[in-house]
Amino acid sequence: MEIALKNPAKKTATRSKQPAAVAKTPKTVKLPGHIYDYPKYYDLIFGSDCQAELNFLQDCFDCFADRKVKSLFEPACGTGRLMIRFAKLGFRISGNDLNDKAVDFCNRRLVKYGYRPTAFVADMCDFQLKKPVDAAFNTINSFRHLEHPEMAAAHMRVMADAVAPGGLYVLGLHLTPAEPAEIVEESWTAARGPLKIRSKMWLVDRPAPRIETYRMKYQVTKPNGREVLEDQFNFLTYNVQQVLDLFAAEPRWEIAAIFDFTYDIQQPVALTDATEDVVFVLRRVD
Ligand SMILES: C[S@@+](CC[C@H](N)C(=O)[O-])C[C@H]1O[C@@H](n2cnc3c(N)ncnc32)[C@H](O)[C@@H]1O
């Protein structure tokens, strides 16, 4: 205390270097780019709970494939949240995606766990595999990113080339019911350690027949601040008849079974005008 009174100037200088702690509002940074450009965030939001999907897909392979399923392919694989889990279960797995950041994330994780980096950048309606696989899957509406019916038809053709006879393509998507809901909004939150993400997706427009425009927002909280990202994309819509017509246009597919997003292999569903979330188990015929 004596010293402080004798040298007040020094005391003031010391104070200005170490200001008293004041609670600051963390800075919010607006992230550029698209939601799929941030695979770490995508994987936290969508990759936290995959067990039901994983079990269901294996049940489908056991119940509906006319061949032993050992090799798998995922078109539009994203971060490979399912690929890595299937690799750990002993399946040979590969996938593709348009987004090079997602593919890089996916391959790095495969390598980290001792598997080959088998994801590659490609358009899911224009690619070829060296060897057909026993089964393929595409579960959470990624297929609806194909904005034109011709692109979807091309996808069904290349997938028929990619899957061996007797093999399966398990395809999950939301159909538009005859009386669509007025407000469509979904939100999720996920956290890993100090990283927390709140994600919201909502329908903003129907700009053309069969096109829906969605906005998606990530609100990210980290120890050193906050980030926010808003992006929008289009989905092609399908009613029951449109999706059945699409499958019928590629005669190498037959519908083996139909389920919904509860992923319960004991509960096949019937298609009606009110059907929304649906998982088609398509079998590749000769
Ligand atoms: C909702 S994410 C799904 C990712 C992954 N299938 C999963 O289940 O987590 C949709 C993915 O589709 C990809 N995508 C969109 N259009 C594509 C296309 N034409 N060909 C390949 N991938 C595409 C996006 O880059 C994104 O990674």
Give the residue whose CA is nearest to atom 26 of ligand 1: 78
Give the residue whose CA is nearest to atom 27 of ligand 1: 78
In the chain, where does DSSP find H-type helix? 2-6, 8-17, 39-46, 51-64, 81-88, 100-112, 149-162, 240-248
Q: What is the pLDDT of residues 161-207, one digit of tens each?
A: 999 999 999 999 999 999 877 767 899 999 999 999 999 999 999 99
* % pLDDT > 90, the chain: 86
Residues of the chain with CATH 3.40.50.150: 39-176+238-284
Ligand 1 binding pocket includes 50 (Cβ within 6 Å): no
8 A C-beta contact, residue 265 and residue 281: no
User: 225 C-alpha vs ligand 1 centroid, how far in Å?
Assistant: 29
Q: What is the pLDDT of residues 23-39, one digit of tens each?
A: 566 689 999 999 999 99
pLDDT on residue 19: 53
Residues of the chain with CATH 2.20.25.110: 28-33+179-235
What are the angstrom distances between the C-alpha of 269 and each of 70, 77, 142, 239, 280?
27, 26, 21, 16, 10
Q: Which of 3.40.50.1950, 3.20.20.70, 3.40.50.150, 3.30.70.360 would CATH assign to domain 39-176+238-284?
A: 3.40.50.150
pTM listed for this prediction: 0.91
Ligand 1 binding pocket includes 284 (Cβ within 6 Å): no
* Distance separating alpha carbons of residues 5 and 146, to the nearest angstrom: 75
**Mutate which of 142, 174, 263 for ligand 1 pocket (most atoms within 8 A of beta carbon):** 142
> What's the CATH fold of domain 28-33+179-235?
N-terminal domain of TfIIb (2.20.25)
- Tokens representing residue 73 in the block: 């392919």
